[in-house]
A and B are shown apart, each in its own frame.
Chain A
Amino acid sequence: MTFSSSLELLKFHETAYTIYALMIISVVAWFGYNLTRKEAKSVVRIPFYTYMAFLVAAGVGHHIFTYNAIPWVSQDITRHEIKPDASYEFEIEKHKWVGIPKKITVQCGQTIEFNVKSRDLVYGFGLFRQDGTLVTQMQVNPGIDVNGILDSNDMLWTFNHNGVFDLTSTEYSGPEQYSEDGKKDLMLVKNWLEVVGCNEGGAK
């Protein structure tokens, strides 16, 4: 099982967690009902060490599963050894993107490097689909090294589905990110990145 986009992952996650939530609520409700009954008998005996082993397996297994099923995990860890198809470097200052390309067009399957630097506050870098769902994101921390060079906040992302994505900051950096009446996000760049060349189901 591999998720080719964050949307697929989110759908899987929503289904899995909903099933779990309904299950835990039902179990405690059943438990509460039977607590009051004298004749209630244990339906299943859960041995303590089996339960503990299950919790350990769930905690560790979750990460092993995502490492193997979500491609951007290993890509992120080894990103400095991967040569991207294209790189974009720009800055943020006073709630404005500085040196940002007007629009980026990405060919299906390309791996892009985004390197964003902040001159003042903590911001975020987030790409959103037209329906508002999140494609990817990272935090953009400010900072200067000993040589006076701004700290990098870099990430790689491989685009496997066609789409037009908006860009905005995903981290709060004060009310000045918005117009005074709150109706406009001043860091929002509509239709900033477009992915082309993919089949309907994703990839080339």
Chain B
Amino acid sequence: MSLMKNLINGTNFDADSLNALQKVTLRAVVMSFLFFGLVAIEGMIMKLVVTGPVNPLPEMFSHPAHYFSIMTVHPIVGIFGSTYQLVFAAFMFLVPFLTKKPLYSVKLANAVWILITVGTALAWIAAFVWQYAPLYTLYWPLPADTEQFSVVGGIVFIVGVALIMLGTFGFIYNIYATIFARVGVHKDKTTKELLISGFGIDGMLNLWHKLTGKPPYSKEPALALPVVAIFRGTVDTFLDAVVILSAGVLVLIYLLFDAGGHALDVTAIDALLYKNYFWWGLDLVADGLVLIYVAGSWYLLATLITGQKLFMENVARAALMLELLVSWMVWSHHLLADQGQPEMMKLISGEMVTAFELLTQGLALFITLVTLWKARPLKMTMELKYLLGGLVGFGLAVPAAIIQADMGMNRVLHNTQWIIMAHVHIALIVGLYMTLYSALYVLWPIVTNNTKMFSSKMSNIHFWMYLIGGIGMGAFGGMAGLDGMLRRHLYVHGEFNTLMILAAICGTMVLVAWVIFLLNIVLSVGIKGLIGIFMPAKDPTASYGIEPETIAENHKA
């Protein structure tokens, strides 16, 4: 009875008490976790197919057109539908919260989640209905290959991706318009001062002044460090959106001409040049905004959890600038197996600059750990557990990639399961999502007006199943990569059967963990509450006034 009551009404959640900013944040969070479920199911389908004859799924899932359609939308749903939504929602809440200023536009924030949701759905439909499957890499001229793919499917897919990118531009505009708004604490700040702080130049100047024995350039920087990380990461988000959107427009032009009976010559576009351009943009997601956003999130979480100042804050500010510059120059590590790529680019961009990510991410890890250590003893709360999980995730995933970003290693690891499982999946599932779960647990009482979580046991089960499942799936997949299993290849004869069964078991743990998490959330807010989130807010306030320091009080042992 009580369970039924919770299912309908939640614990003490009252959707009507939420203001406009809280509601728009929760809407995107709900959509993000629904897409996470979809992506977990897709992942499990692909894992089961490659287990070979023991695969219990209907035969159609093993058909190449079907299998690669799933593989095409899997990252679109996972990265844009789920991760982008969650990150954008968190940041559109955090920037007003940390700057103590209202969000520039709640309407625009609503448009962001709607555009990303519709865009992701369209891309998914294109793959499901028309089996459009050029994969997320869109290697030229495959996306314009109308002998293999339906023109209509391609157009729907590209329109979907374009909507996601438009939503992304909406997020970017909202973030910068909020940061640069000269209201509240920034009433007397100039745009120049905010820009200097946003790019971390004040941190660098503070370091320089310290070294030369001068007084600090800025005792109280205009922007808090996490806002600086959001500011910086959003530069990469913008550049990445420009590249993806322009590549999409190119594909769309070819598809439309084809549909009109006047097919254009695909050789007019140089495949290697296109690959460089596309990877430059795509890599800004993996090696740019993700790493910068994550570093910023770690700093925020460490300071909120401990209630103390960040250890070596000026170094952290300066390092975020370095991270941004590094992220623009590392794309060649994706082209180490391309023999036409100039050797110097492989050496400098692919190897040497890429190795700097070990430094920037290692620095973020160090600063976070020391900040936590200096504040001990701490209560092992859910947010702290997830934060440590996130640190483990990146501690495993970043070196896995640095190892492969090497001309010797790449020859035997390129395009294998090593990079997609031991690096990408561990970075995303364990590193990024654990960090996001930590942020979710920190922000939960603020965004939901102190709603009680239904069950801490369920939270703990979710944590352990997710952590073990995520690392296990990445590890077994990575081992299969070392055994020669390719990442974009269809194996239906059980070639890597044992490792794939083990990876599928771990993948199931991630999926079950998601079900438990979702159930816990639904039992906390109730179905009525869930519907209420999507109803118009009675309170149009676009900011939240709780002082961040109060969060730390809950973590003192």
Contact = CB atoms under 8 A, between A and B. Distances in A.
Interface in B459-511: 471, 475, 479, 482-486, 488-490, 492-493, 495-496
A140 to B, nearest CB: 9
Contacts of A34: 376
Contacts of B412: 6, 9-10, 134-137
A88 interface: no
Contact of A31 (B63, B67, B388, B486): B388
Interface stretch (A102-110, A141-149, A191-199): A141-149
Contacts of A171: 139, 415, 488
B415 A14 contact: no
25 contacts: A17-B403, A20-B399, A28-B388, A28-B391, A32-B388, A35-B380, A36-B376, A52-B359, A58-B358, A63-B351, A66-B408, A66-B409, A73-B407, A76-B411, A77-B343, A136-B412, A138-B337, A141-B271, A142-B141, A151-B340, A170-B415, A170-B486, A175-B63, A175-B133, A182-B67
A97 interface: no
Interface string A35-64: 111101010000010011001101110110
Nearest to B415: A170
Q: Chain B's interface: helix, strand, loop or mixed, by majority?
A: helix
A143 B392 contact: no
Interface of A: 6, 9-10, 13-14, 17, 20-21, 24-25, 28, 31-32, 34-38, 40, 42, 48, 51-52, 55-56, 58-60, 62-63, 66-67, 69-70, 72-73, 76-77, 120-122, 124, 126, 128-129, 131-139, 141-144, 151-155, 170-178, 180-183, 185
B392 A25 contact: yes
Question: Which of B351, B356, B557 has most A Cβ within 10 Å?
Answer: B351
Contacts of A60: 352, 355
Nearest to B366: A51
A185 B492 CA distance: 10
B547 interface: no
Given A36-B557, A134-B412, A171-B488, 15 more contacts: A17-B399, A56-B359, A66-B406, A69-B408, A76-B407, A122-B140, A122-B142, A132-B495, A135-B412, A139-B337, A139-B414, A170-B414, A174-B134, A182-B62, A183-B492
Nearest to B140: A122
Interface centre among B335, B376, B484, by most chain A C-beta atoms within 10 angstroms, is: B484
Contacts, number: 224
A51 B362 contact: yes
Interface of B: 59, 62-65, 67-68, 131, 133-135, 137, 139-142, 145, 148-149, 267, 270-272, 275, 312, 335, 337-340, 343, 347, 351-352, 355-356, 358-359, 362-363, 366, 369, 372-373, 376-380, 384-385, 388, 391-392, 395-396, 399-400, 402-403, 406-409, 411-412, 414-416, 422, 471, 475, 479, 482-486, 488-490, 492-493, 495-496, 557
Contacts of B137: 172
B376 A38 contact: yes
Given A9-B412, A36-B379, A38-B377, A121 B392 contact: no
Given A13-B409, A56-B359, A121 B486 contact: no
Given A137-B411, A183-B493, A35 B133 contact: no
A59 B359 contact: yes
Given A172-B68, A185-B490, A59 B356 contact: yes
Contact of A153 (B64, B145, B340, B356): B340
A56 B396 CA distance: 18
Contacts of A137: 337, 411-412, 414-415
Contacts of A170: 414-415, 486, 489
A21 B396 contact: yes
A62 B415 CA distance: 21
B395 A40 contact: no
Contacts of A42: 373
